[in-house]
Structure 1
Amino acid sequence: MRAAAEDICGEYADVIPPDTRNLMGFYVSLRRLLFECGITDFSFNDLYKPTYDRLVKIFSYLINFVRFRESQTAVIDQYYNKAESTKTRIETLYAENQENEGRLQDMKHNRKAMEAQVREKTMRNEDLKKRLLELRRNQEKVAARLEEAKQKKGELTAVLEQKTHERVTLKQESTKLRPYVLQSASALQENLAELREILNNDKSHIDALDRRARALQTSTDSFSVVSTDVASCIKILDEIASELAKEEEEMARNAKQRDALSERGNNAREVERTETMLKRQLSKWMERTEKLREQSNQKAQEAKEKMHELRAVHRQLTEEHTEKGKEMEVRRVRIEQTEKKMLDLKENIENEVHSAHEEYRKMEAHIKLYIAEMEQTIA
């Protein structure tokens, strides 16, 4: 009665007295019961001033309703049990629906995470492409510099051979002109100046060759740096391959979860739609990952081939550098020997000139003495 009164009065329950509220609740409850029994004209007069006929009618309807209910108890219980089972089924389906929605949200979250990872990996692939292009440009530049260095090396070797030939010819000419040089001090000094100039030219040529060797050393260092960069690129590509394998495992797990969801949620149309959409997106991502895997494998193979080529070029450069260093050492030793010989020759020539001057003075003194004696004898 109190619940019915509160339902009827609503917000005005405090305004109406309690007896009135309870009476109204009782009237409403009794009217509903009698309406179900078949009495549709029940009013307050039946409560305050009931007549005999009305009481007989009301009680007869109530008795008939109770008898009918007792006779149909099995059917009522059956339908009640069906309603309860339907209610429990609805609750279980609702719980499964909520669980499926939670899994769907998790799958959406995982898809967003996978999209972020794929974007990150595509950005990393783009960075690797840029780095590979830069390495290719640097390789072309280094190859051009190497060709230029080879050309300059040939030119310098030709110039050095020409200089050595000229030095040999000058040495032969100096040996031929040695007796004439002993007779003239000024000519000897001129020849010494020429030889000194030739020696200075040879020294400058050796310095140029040393600078060229240092330049080749820097180019070899740059090749080593390029090789390390290519090795790091190969390592990064291996990491990308491992991450793609992890993504495949995650996709397999998602496929298993999707199969489980499809088996459990056959009656949910919304889940089927989302499943089809996820299948399409998954196929797209599988195609993209397959393309990325193929591209990464291709790039790794190209990087390995470039690495082998760079190693071969580096080996060739090191061999050329060692050969050039040996040649430079031999030429340096020869030039030092020639410098020593030139110094010895200069000392010998100076000694011979000094002795020639002394002999000239002696001869001049003898001639003067002879002239004086001749003048004395003539006088």
Structure 2
Amino acid sequence: MSRYTFPILDIPEIVLTLHKCDFAMANEVNIRRPTSEYIITLYKQIIESYMGLSADHLLTLGVNANKESVTNDNNDEHNVLNVLVLNKICFKFFLNIGVTDFNIMDLYKPDHLRVQRLLSAVVNFARFRVEKMEDCTDIIEKSGVLLDELTSTFHKFNYLQNIKNQYVIKSHPSNELDNVSPFVDSINNEEELKRLDSENAALEIELKKLTAVQEQLKNNYDNYKRTKNDLFTGLESVNFKYIELESEKKKLEKFTNANIVDINRKIDDVKSQIKIYDEKLISLQEKQNNVKVAVTSLQHIIEELYDIIRLLSTDLEQKNRDEQDLLNFQKQLKLRNEKLEVLLKSNISYKLKLLNNQLEAQNEKLLDLKKQHDRETLENDSTITNLKRKYNEETLKEFKEGEKNIQENLINIELKNIELEIEEMQNNYKIEINEIENQYSLLVTHINNYMEKMLNKMQI
């Protein structure tokens, strides 16, 4: 956050406002690149305009008061005193408008950022004065009205005082006149009072004339200030031009004092150097043209290489896609294998359930047979043994053989076929990869040979 209570303005806005305030020497170039002389002159004008003080006038008063001590001083000491007085006045002025860090370096070695900040404070103060001037105008008008009323009241009071004094003179004996004021002694009758009123009126007329003359003098002084500023600006521009002409003169003096023979010799040397540089330039241009041709050929080669690499990348991408398809197909086969296993397991469980149901039915039959156990024990035993033997030898054997046939005939055959297909595809893929790698290595060798030939040609 800024430690100043006023905004930092742009330099064009500062210059425009200072011109409106009759500071004609303000310009953007000198503010962006301030010099000590310019800043001291500008600050003197600002101080003289807003504070009514002049550092030169104050220093002149000090010299007149102490002539003996100053007569021996030189111009440098006088300038130092002038800058010190101006620094003191500027410090008080800028402190009053919100800048607390003004120092003597702002006069000796001004920085454009600090100058911009200080002039922003001056512009802010000038705008504040203009804003508050309307209120001051109203106060001045009211003060004038009150002053007129006070003047009329004072005249009435003097008139009444004169009447009172006359009454006192008439009412007291002559031996008491010593206590009357000298003013009462001087006024003896009404004619004297009228004479004083007429003199007062004449003085008022003279006062009005003096006020008009003072206003005219003020206007003339303002015109004088504007003319002085214009002349000072013109003098400053003439001074700058004079300094530039002096520098140009010094530069030209070097050439006027030089020997013509030396100059001609230097011109010949320069011409010979120019010829050498022209020859070098021509050779460099030829080399540049050769390099351009080589670069264009290399660019064509690089483009062809890019095309080849692009084709290879597309082939590799196709092979990768084929490999990915094979992997997906293998995954699908695994899923199918798992599904078949689940299906077989589900068929076996279904057959087991059927067998369990058959066993339950047989058990029921056995229960029925047990009822007849007493009558047909021998027959039932033989029948049961026959049934068990038949079941163990025929039914279970058929079931196991059927299960083995299903597993061997369906699953194994299909898996073998799939594995054979996968092996065949992998072999084909490996063969294609080997062929591509052989072609790629062959292409790389051709490219390297071509590049070596081109480099040899370029070196030649």
With normalisation by structure 2, the TM-score equals: 0.27
Larger Cα-atom Rg = 2
With normalisation by structure 1, the TM-score equals: 0.31
Q: Which structure: greater helix fraction?
A: 1
